[in-house]
Amino acid sequence: MCRLAIGLVAATVLFGTMARQAALAEEVKCDGIITKIDGDTVTVKSVQEQQMKVEPATKITINGKPGTPLDLKVGQKVKCLCERSGQSMTCTTLIIAGDTP
């Protein structure tokens, strides 16, 4: 019985921590030009440079068609929708528009 109670308390604390972190995530929109690609991190410059992580779940659209992270190139104009949690940003949607390299 004691082990069950300890397990329930631990699960409650863990769930509470995860819920707080999810609540702290902030939605950020940005647009600019890709200036650097380093693995799964893309740097976009508008007024200032912003680094964001591109994950397999990131929805990428190129001229209205589905794309992949391998399609991203330095110099492309992009619009992004990201989730910021603390100092890190994860791109959820990335749209490449127009005829860019």
What is the per-residue pLDDT across 53-85, written as a single tens digit (0 to 9) for each?
Answer: 999 999 999 989 999 999 999 999 999 999 998
> What residues does each domain of the chain span?
27-96
Gyration radius of the chain over CA positions: 18
Q: Name the one residue in this structure whose structure tokens are 């699960």.
A: 11
Strand locations in 19-62, DSSP E?
A: 26-38, 41-45, 49-62
Q: Is residue 39 classed as helix, strand or coil in its secondary structure?
A: coil
pTM for the structure as a whole = 0.71
How far apart are alpha carbons 96 and 62 in whole angstroms?
A: 5
In this prediction, residue 48 carries a pLDDT of 87
Q: Whose CA is closest to 95, among 52, 22, 76?
A: 76
Q: Does 20 have pLDDT greater than 50? A: no
CATH no. of 27-96:
2.40.50.320
In this prediction, residue 45 carries a pLDDT of 94
